[in-house]
Structure 1
Amino acid sequence: MTLEQTALDWLEDLADTLAGTLLDVVPIASVLFGFQYLILRRKVPNIGRVVAGFIYVVIGLTLFLVGLEKALFPLGRLMATQLTSPDFLGLVPELATWSDYGWVYLFAALIGFSTTIAEPALIAVALKVQEVSGGAIRAGGLRLAVAAGASMGVTLGTLRIIEGLALHHLIIGAYAVVIVQTLLAPKAIIPLAYDSGGVTTSTVTVPLVTALGLGLASVIPGRSPLLDGFGMIALTCLFPMITVMGYAQMAHLLARLRARRATKSPSAPPSSPEAPS
């Protein structure tokens, strides 16, 4: 394929993606502007900045989606293929056990953590939580807790594909933990924990995790991409609920221990007037 043909293919893909992005964004803009002008009957403040923002959104989403299709999706499939190849494992895949795929688990954990940390939806939610809570909940701590949960979910999803475990067993077990934590966790953190699971399933995490799952299911003997390749997203958005509530429970417990120690410790004697300041 010549360089000119490659450039034309890229431009064609870019144009198709741009058209699809416009079809996705136009209904959102129609609802917002329609309610502003027809229901509220008020002008949109700073209309120029708002329109420019929508243009930036369309351009950014278009480039991002093209990048996913051209780079991240193929890279995810390639990594899954290479990490499970007989040359890398040093044995025949049919004879491999779950413990022979250590590098796959490590890659899955790092992918789950790094993509969640970079998730724009999580960043936006974390900053708003820090603002609303007056700094009581730090954005960085929340992002780390959610990313740790997503990393656990992706790793468990990888183990499920390799071992052929039943997805519903894992989902039921994890939700049992969530229900118990919901009864024990501080009430103020529960809604945030449930929302934290949802914000992981967005533009960065979903494509890479899906590509990894489909890639593994395509190369692991006896696995079906349709039956086994999906389901990792469910685990990825489930485990952040556990880690966020666990993070809140641990912080609450440490705060109670510090308060108890402060209550039991004797008060310091008052300093004499002759003592130097």
Structure 2
Amino acid sequence: MTIEQKLAEFQHSFNQDLLRLTEQLDNKHSVPLKQAMQYSLTNGGKRLRPFLMYLVGEALEVDIKLLQPAAFALECIHSYSLVHDDLPAMDDDDLRRGKPTCHIQFDEATAILAGDALQALAFELIADAEVSSDVKVSWMKDLSHFAGYHGMCSGQALDLAAEDHKANLAELEQIHLHKTAALLRCAVRMACAAKPDLAPEYLTKIDLFASRLGLAFQIQDDVLDVISSTELLGKPQGSDEKLNKSTYPGLLGLAGAKDKTEQVYQSALEQIQDLPYNIELLSLLAQYIVKRQH
């Protein structure tokens, strides 16, 4: 089975699980809010973050069933961030995953509340998880750290601040290490938390792998925003240029950005090549991320 086939199989199963999760929400309160949450959480997506979590868990020989609440929680956080990212006050996008964005499908207020509710649901899922208290605390600390001020939210703030002026390479890397890489780091750290006896030096290597992988993912996204199409991307092609965002192709040229992707990808692989675990699928996922066309 290729990594693409394994990912597709995972996506199918995970999407069904997410649908069941949202259907369990009762209808005693705001039905439109529930619909907006379900719409945003189940409207496709690569599911790379939970997939990465599961692959790290497999490599570390962690019981994958234990990771399911953490994977759901992480995807709730990711989905909420996309809902808010698409809002008029942020990137003002009309399409996400080839479908109308949440605030277009519903309305702006409902989209804001749907994002808020998905964020809250993430921590409820962890609180209800059938794992030890120590693992729960680790998961909550990781998720709040990488989703909040120290991670994704700061990355988004830095990204907005960089609009209409040309960030340098160091500034651009800081934006994407926070905005994009943070939740990939969170995915691997939540998997590692379920293996309490993991050597600290191995955790450091896996964490660095995820950080490098996140940066490579974003550089490839910048490239695809230039060379791909709206149909393939599932969101408006050229949106970075429209918003006058600083990008790797803008700073390095298209060829330079492609070279940078390859450099960061190789750096990611170097972090895990000496681990005493089977890292073949992690290496294949890294390759898929930097070679993808959407």
Q: TM-score normalised by the shorter chain: which range applies?
A: 0.3 to 0.5
Say which one has the larger Rg. 1
Q: TM-score, normalised by structure 2?
A: 0.33
